[in-house]
A and B are shown apart, each in its own frame.
Chain A
Amino acid sequence: MIRVVRSQIVKLARPGVLFGVVGLCLAFTTAVAVYLALKTSSSDNVIGKAGKVAGSSHDAIASLEETAIWMGVLMLALFGHSIAAEFSTGTIRNLLVREPRRGRILAGMVVTIVIFAVAIAAAATLLAVAATFAASSGDADLDLGAAVVAFANTTLVISSLGILGGSLGVILRSPSFAISLGIVYVLIGETVLKVVVPDAGQWGFATSLFAVMHGGSEIMTNAHGALVVLVYTALFVVAAGLLFRLRDINS
């Protein structure tokens, strides 16, 4: 599986991905952190669940809360495209000839997504904290525990969205279809679902993501949300894995 991870990293470690998707995630988070820090400093507004102290690391955490879903959407698009394109362009044939154990291929792809998510979340957290401190002229205090929780929540959110994108890529085998379906469901679909099925707010994937993103919500706690997201993520992987193992590669 390590070989799969290394090969995926070789594939993804190109300027378009690093400066495009990853760079965009980090730049966006940094910009939001600076904006929130400046806004908090000027108005003493309380922003975000953790934002109790003006010009503190809580602004950095709030910036992660606000941007995690968008970083996740970018990850969904990145891995939805990357994995679906393996099927639509036929490069999956090359991969399976060199590593015919499909379970290993899929597991390696999931691990690669998590590695990217951890790296992006860590960099985003560090940059957000640094930007907040810089914007507050170094007067902010640091709540390390809250920063770690925010990092963990951000990692969970963007890795689960990346895995959703990758799973849709395996299932649908069309980059555009995988990306659009994933984004539409997360950003719009579940809102519509909750209108039809009011209980969906208790167990919906997107609802749980937003709860985790904000460290908990009125509907569910952070731990409950994290558990629901993990269950959904596991279901995505299992569904994609079953189809991947059983399907012929005809492309």
Chain B
Amino acid sequence: MLRFPPGRIQCAYAAGGPTAALHFSDNLAIVATANTGTRNPLVVETHRLTKAFGSRIAVNGLDLELSSGVTGFVGPNGSGKSTTLRMLLGLISPTSGTGTVLGESLERPERYLSRVGAMIETPAFYPMLSGRKNLAVLAELGGIPGRRVTDVLSDVELTDRADDHVRTYSLGMKQRLGLAAALLPDPDLLLLDEPANGLDPSGMREMRAMIRRFGDSGRTVLVSSHLLAEIEAVCDRVALIYEGHLRFQGSVKELLHRQRAELLLVPEEQEDLEALAALCREHDFEAAAQGGKVRVLAGPDQAGSLNRIASSGGITLIGLEEERASLEDAFFALTEAEEPR
């Protein structure tokens, strides 16, 4: 069940970009959500949502609950991420299961899509029309006032090239135009699939800022990306989908806390490393000397105990720090260790 409560930011990222250390195995997706605190009615909710293409099940019994804000939808090809987004947009019909978007049934997309903006995969436009004309086509279709076209072109900083043919646009400009198209109806729910594709670092930063602004305004954003670091930076809620199954949904903090915490102890004298590790093991800690430090499986609440243990053995610590699990670690831990629900 996928739900987006109002007042949150949700975004999704997938590994592979320059800032991401995580590389997805096939069929994996993560959803991250920035929690703004108050829990509002669910914006998106799915129950046992399933989509099969012949014998291949792309989305399998997805129970997702998302509320407003920014939600990330992350994963490699084939994880069911795009299929889920398409079902939310009424572009493909679920094989089974139910869901609601903005309080309306998935079976009646005409009741909610006027309040939804979307950019699915690579933005598609009429190459022989200008960016402005492309948006005008969509504005006419959606009954959206023409002045919105100018507004959103300005929002994505495409005003200067608005009257050029789209065929002359770079990939990054097409991404901006896709975002402008998504913003056109001034939506309550924004679905963005890989919005950072083709954007330069400056464009990516602007995109992040825009997503945050949108989410902070109390509306809902669902963003997919391959950059887990971006999720961690922008969102504080995550959901993980693997082979069409929901593996986790909750805050990033909660996901990270699922990982076993480690403390790194640095003795003043390097020759004390092995002795320190042995001392910790004597006190029932899992510990090993590694790279000039002793790595101990323990939470930050046990830092004082470990410090005292070291002192009791005559070892002075010059460093004692928590090694925080990354989203990448959590990602692999969930996908490699757990079986799909």
Give A residues with C-beta under 8 Å from B: 3-4, 6-7, 10-11, 14, 16, 89-91, 93-101, 248-250
Q: How far is the CA of A98 from the CA of B141 in the complex (A)?
A: 6
Residues of A within 8 A of B90 (CB): 96, 100
Contacts of B291 in A (CB 8 A): none
Chain A residue contacts of B120, Cβ below 8 A: 93
Give every chain B residue within 8 A of A100 (Cβ-Cβ).
90, 109-110, 113
Whether B142 contacts A99 by the Cβ 8 Å rule is: yes
Name which residue of chain A comes closest to B91, CB basis.
Answer: A249
Tell me whether A11 and B118 are in contact (CB under 8 A). Answer: no
CA A11 to CA B139, docked complex, whole Å: 12
Which residues of B have CB within 8 Å of A89? 124, 126
A contact patch SS: helix
B186–chain A nearest beta-carbon distance, Å: 13
Which residues in B have some Cβ–Cβ distance to A below 8 Å? 86, 89-93, 109-110, 113, 116-118, 120-122, 124-126, 128-129, 133, 136-138, 140-143, 181, 185
B93 touching A248, Cβ below 8 Å: yes
Residues on B with C-beta less than 8 A from A3 are: 140-143
Bound-state CA distance A91–B126 (Å) is: 7
B89 cross-chain contacts in A, Cβ below 8 A: 93, 96-97
A16 and B141 within 8 A (CB) = no
The one of B121, B124, B137 in contact with A7, judged by C-beta atoms closer than 8 angstroms, is B137
- Residue from A4, A6, A7, A250 within 8 A of B92 (CB atoms): A250
**Neighbour of B124 across the interface among A10, A11, A90, CB < 8 A:** A90
A107 → chain B, closest Cβ, in Å?
A: 13
Interface pairs (26), CB distance under 8 Å: A3-B142, A3-B143, A7-B137, A7-B138, A7-B140, A10-B140, A14-B129, A14-B133, A16-B128, A90-B121, A90-B122, A90-B124, A91-B124, A93-B89, A93-B91, A93-B124, A94-B181, A96-B90, A97-B118, A98-B113, A98-B138, A98-B185, A100-B109, A100-B110, A248-B93, A249-B86
In the complex, what distance in Å separates the CA atom of A250 from the CA atom of B58?
Answer: 12
Q: In the bound complex, what is the Cα–Cα distance between A7 and B144 (angstroms)? A: 11
A4: chain B residues within 8 A (beta carbon): 141
Chain A residues within an 8 Å CB radius of B113 = 97-98, 100
- A96–B129 CA distance with the chains assembled, in angstroms: 19
Residue of B nearest to A6 (CB): B140
Known: A16-B128, A249-B91, A250-B92. A97 touches B116 (CB 8 A): yes
Query: A16 contacts which chain B residues (CB < 8 A)?
Result: 128
A164 to B122 Cα, complex, angstroms: 30
* Chain A to chain B: the 7 pairs with minimum beta-carbon distance, closest first: A90-B124, A248-B92, A98-B142, A7-B140, A7-B141, A249-B91, A100-B109
Shortest beta-carbon distance from A111 to chain B in Å: 14
CA of A62 to CA of B291, assembled, Å: 93
Instruction: Other than A248-B86, A249-B92, give 13 A-B pairs with Cβ distance below 8 A.
Output: A3-B142, A4-B141, A6-B140, A6-B141, A10-B133, A16-B128, A89-B124, A90-B124, A91-B126, A93-B118, A96-B91, A97-B91, A100-B110
Residue of B113, B116, B185 with highest tally of chain A CB at under 10 A? B113
A62, B143: Cα distance in complex, Å: 44
**How far apart are the CA atoms of A3 and B110 in the complex, in Å?**
14
Q: Is the CB of B128 within 8 A of A14?
A: yes
Output the least CB separation between B4 and chain A (Å).
17
How far is B84's CA from A163's CA once the two chains are assembled, in angstroms?
Answer: 34
CB atoms of A10 and B136 under 8 A apart: yes
When distances are taken between beta carbons in the complex, the residues of chain B under 8 Å from A11 are 126, 129, 133, 137
In the bound complex, residues from chain B placing their C-beta under 8 Å from that of A7 are 137-138, 140-141
Identify which of B92, B124, B129 contacts A94 (C-beta below 8 A).
B124
- A93 CA to B121 CA in the complex, in Å? 10
- A91 to chain B: which residues have CB within 8 Å? 124-126
Chain B residue nearest in CB terms to A99: B141
Smallest beta-carbon distance B158→chain A, Å: 16
Nearest Cβ on chain A to B178's Cβ, whole angstroms = 9
Q: A96-B91, A97-B89, A101-B110 are in contact. Are A10 and B142 (CB under 8 A)?
A: no
- Would you give the shortest CB distance from B101 to chain A, in whole angstroms? 11
State A199–B198 Cα separation when bound (angstroms).
59
Determine the chain B residues whose CB is within 8 A of the CB of A14 once the complex forms.
128-129, 133
In the assembled complex, the Cα of A101 lies from the Cα of B93 at a distance in Å of: 14
Q: Which single residue of chain B is at the shortest CB-CB distance from A4?
A: B141
B317 to chain A, nearest CB (A): 58
Docked Cα-Cα span, A91 to B181, in Å, equals: 12
Hey, which chain A residues are within 8 Å of B137, CB to CB? Answer: 7, 10-11
A129 to chain B, nearest CB (A): 33
Q: What's the Cα separation between A98 and B136 when bound, in Å?
A: 12
Nearest CB in chain B to that of A97: its residue:
B118
